[in-house]
Chains A and B, each alone.
Chain A
Amino acid sequence: MYNLYFQHLNSKVQLTEEEEAHIKTYLTLKKLRKKQYLLQEGDVCKVIAFVEKGALRAYSVDENSNEHIIQFGLEGWTISDLYSFLTGEPATYNIDALEDSELVIISKSAHEELLQTMPKYETFTRLNITGAYLAMQRRLTSIISASVEERYQEFIALYPHIVQRVPQHMIASYMGLTPETLSRIRKRISSK
């Protein structure tokens, strides 16, 4: 139920059994079925979710009702609308489940209390957010300077096995391409 979560935590800060038990009292376990929302645009995002099992995506919808996928959340990833979570402003992202999923959730109030009282949790959060910042910087650099083929290969390296789990049109949406363009690129790569 929280094996992966604590593996992840322990890989960054080594916890004692008592510390694990203490953190557990702040966590919410939640199952989400395929297509159910964790968050809808307009609500304030009050949680950070760690994906213990399953797959989610965060996406925005433009004025022509096109969906743009910002992030996938597979096992071992955290997913949230961090802007909304940190500022209390309404969320601009939607987050829903692409598969039946099991989440380990920390609410804003629980998160803040742990930050105040547990230095190891604060370290973990700093490392996690730094990681997310680096990932975003990489994604941004890649979008403005890499070729689409390079970007596709970076994507596959970032999310191994994702092609088997997520429909092509969503991968295209994540990359900012039409499904047709993505399909051509995949053909070109496989023929090399």
Chain B
Amino acid sequence: MLFLDRTQCIGAWLGRTFVLFKITNMKTKQTIAIIGASGNMGSAISRSLSKGNYRLLLCANDLNKLQAIAADIKSSNLGADVEASDCSRDASWEADIIIVAVPYSAEKEVADRIKEVANQKIVISIANPLNDTYDGLVTAPDTSAAEELQKLLPNSKVVKAFNTTFAADFATPVIDGRQVDAFIAGHDEEALRTVTELVETAGFHPIVAGDLAVSGTLERMQLLLIQLNMKYDYNWLAGWKILHH
């Protein structure tokens, strides 16, 4: 007998024992390159995705720092498949999914380096193109960091995700009893499904907001959250929750 419940768990009687296990959508392990994995966001994303059926390649220039992060992830999660790499091009070549966790100002340089090996792959843009004083964006009103990245990588499947969550939220995706929403935007249906699974693995509630053109709205939502955080002192632990019936 099998049953499926709302937590996406599957239960089955094996002899006299009832076994409950989580559904993983895919058996074949996907490799994810996280470029900028030594940063606040990059390391938080790496840590939270290490719980899933993924092989993680952490990339940054500071290999010592990366190795320390990889060792730390492995010590808290023995099953984690994590490796450090100082070559974002090689890691992206191995990867099925690439997460660009660098500031907006560094996106072009990263895109130039990985362009050929990122062809047809999912590339996740997490950047918020904030100005130096955190009170506005440096991008024009009719575009976004994600759409600019798509222009730089025209044959990749760029998806906006993980930009409306602070780094601290990854350790605490349930705040004040509510699971934080995480918004996703992109053009490619299959890519959106894959990124939705990533967001679930990280512990957030995924909401596909629309195609890549919605990214500008999502980036401005985070601008607002940052401003509110500074004004009301949320201690960088805050998130969005859509209330609905």
B29 within 8 A of partner (CB) = yes
User: Is B116 among interface residues, defined by CB-CB distance under 8 A?
Assistant: yes
| B211 contacts chain A at the CB level, 8 A cutoff | no
- Cβ–Cβ < 8 Å partners of B190 in chain A: 109
Which size class do A's interface residues fall under? 20 to 34
Given contacts A25-B155, A30-B93, A109-B190, contact A43 B27 (CB under 8 A): yes
Interface-located stretch among B4-12, B117-125, B139-147? B117-125
- Segment among A34-42, A115-123, A173-181 that sits at the interface with chain B: A34-42
Which residues of A from 8 to 43 have beta carbons under 8 Å from B?
24-33, 36-43
Q: How far is the CA of A27 from the CA of B118 in the complex (A)?
A: 10
A107 to B94, alpha carbons, bound, how many Å?
16
Determine whether B96 belongs to the interface, using a CB cutoff of 8 Å to chain A.
yes
A-B pair number, CB within 8 angstroms: 41
Q: For residue B121, which residues in chain A have a CB less than 8 angstroms away from its CB?
A: 28
| Shortest distance between the CB of A103 and any CB in chain B (Å) | 10
Contacts of A110 in B (CB 8 A): 120
Residues of A within 8 A of B27 (CB): 40-43
Contact B93 A29 (CB under 8 A): yes
Q: Mark B87-131, 1 if CB is under 8 A from A, else 0.
A: 000100110100000000000000000001101110000000000
A91, chain B: closest CB distance, angstroms = 9
The answer to whether B116 touches A29 (Cβ under 8 A) is: yes
Contact in complex: A31, B93 (CB < 8 Å):
yes
Task: Please determine whether A37 and B94 come into contact, CB atoms closer than 8 angstroms.
Answer: no
Instruction: Verify if A134 is at the interface (C-beta below 8 Å from B).
Output: no
B137-161: CB near A (< 8 Å → 1, else 0) gives: 0000000000000000011000000
Q: Is B26 an interface residue (CB 8 A)?
A: yes
* Chain A residues whose C-beta falls within 8 Å of the C-beta of B93 in the assembled complex: 29-31
* Sample of 9 more A-B contacts, CB < 8 Å, known A25-B154, A29-B119, A110-B120: A28-B119, A28-B120, A29-B116, A31-B90, A32-B94, A33-B94, A36-B55, A37-B28, A39-B28
Q: Which 5 A-B pairs have the closest CB atoms?
A: A40-B27, A28-B120, A40-B28, A31-B94, A25-B155
Residues of B participating in the A interface, judged by any CB pair closer than 8 Å: 26-29, 55, 90, 93-94, 96, 116-117, 119-121, 154-155, 190
